[in-house]
Amino acid sequence: MPNGCFIIDIDAQGKSVILGTHFDNAEDEIQIDDNLILQLQMGLMDKKLFVLTKPEYHLVSYIENYLKNRKPHKMITTVVLKPSDSPENFREGVKVVTEVFTQNPEMSEAEFKVKLSDVYYDYFEIPTIALNKRELESRLAKRVQSLNKKMKFEEAKNLLEIVKKVPRKLYQANRNAERAMKGESWERAEREFTKAMKYAEQLQESDLARDFHDKAKRMRSVPGLRQQRDKIVDKARNALRNDKLDEAYSLYREAAELSRNLFDSDAAEEFELKSDALARFNEVHKRFHKTDKN
């Protein structure tokens, strides 16, 4: 999961203003100074999306032109990731969030803060299922139009009634599931993802329904995966105590991968760092050991 996000506005004179930030934990906040903003602007000079990699975090940023008070502005939306998070998973999210705010430039400060919190959970919190509301609603609207053109008015009417009620329930079930995951309530997360799957089926969104089905299934496997990871970590520690560095390296790598499957990015980062440190130490150890033999 990411650490947080922030949004910057840049006017026609190049003056930058931080419109809003969202960080769940104060210790995850980063310093958003002129130097960092300049780095993002430089990276976005000739492209819309830019990934800035630092040792302690990754930034995925998207820039868009828009009008504010009838004057040209630029907006940069940035999500702050842990080193163990994959930037690829957040590319669509920063684009969609930017569109949400550039299309509503007259929000008050209070409205902006509430909306930023909402979209953070919708698009950044756990992006394993990319639930793009605008795309879904556009597909459903086109399906209604298609039925009307084919003179299938009754089917179009029934679908329209479903469209009025079901998407909102689907979004809420998805959000409930993600929050349950954050609180490690795996059974509740499974129930909510199953609800979301059924709503997707009502909307005849087969791909989305399949995604939610897979997600619910994965929730059932979490306790078993945790036990498996704990055993692997114990083996890694034992290997380390017995100076079996290659074995410990491989086991910590395996534990990191399992942690990603468990959506535990902190543990994934910890085990990756340990395996990387072991790899470096083992390389030096072998080099000097070889030198001693010579």
pLDDT tens, position by position, 224-254: 888 999 999 999 999 989 988 889 999 999 9
Per the structure, the complete domain to which residue 149 belongs is given by 133-222
Task: Kindly state whether residues 60 and 137 are assigned to the same domain.
Answer: no
If asked whether residues 166 and 264 sit together in one domain, one would say no
User: What's the pLDDT score for residue 93?
Assistant: 85
Residues 10 and 120 in one domain: yes
Domain check: are 118 and 8 in the same one? yes
Q: What interhelical angle do 206-241 and 153-182 show, nearest 10? A: 20
The three-class DSSP label of residue 27 is: helix
Q: Could you say which of 171, 205, 222 is where a domain stops?
A: 222
Length of the chain: 294
Point out the domain boundary residue: 55, 90, 124: 124
Q: In what order do the strands lie in the sheet with 16-23?
A: 16-23, 4-10, 71-81, 58-68, 49-53
| Residues 75 and 11 placed together within one structural domain of the fold | yes
Residue 230 and residue 141 share a domain: no
Looking at the structure of the chain, the number of domains it has is 3
pLDDT digits over 3-62, tens only? 899 999 999 999 999 999 999 888 889 999 999 999 999 999 999 999 999 888 999 999
Q: Rounded to two decimals, what is the model's pTM? A: 0.51
Q: What is the CATH number of the domain that holds 104?
A: 3.30.450
| Strand 58-68 with 49-53, pairing | antiparallel
The residue among 10, 44, 5 whose CA lies nearest residue 24 is 5
Q: Say what the pLDDT of residue 23 is.
A: 92
Domain match, 218 and 262 both: no
Q: For position 205, what pLDDT does the model report?
A: 83
The answer to whether 233 and 225 have CB atoms below 8 angstroms apart is no
Q: Is the pLDDT of residue 121 over 80?
A: no
76 and 57 inside one domain: yes
Instruction: Name the band, by pLDDT with cuts 50, 70 and 90, for residue 86.
Output: confident
Pick the last residue of a domain from 70, 90, 124.
Answer: 124
Q: For the chain, what is the radius of gyration of the CA atoms?
A: 23
Q: Are residues 104 and 16 in the same domain?
A: yes
**H or E element, residue 239:** helix 206-241
- In Å, what is the CA distance from 93 to each residue of 90, 148, 212, 276? 5, 33, 18, 30
Q: Are residues 61 and 87 in the same domain?
A: yes
Assign 291 a pLDDT band (cuts: 50, 70, 90): low
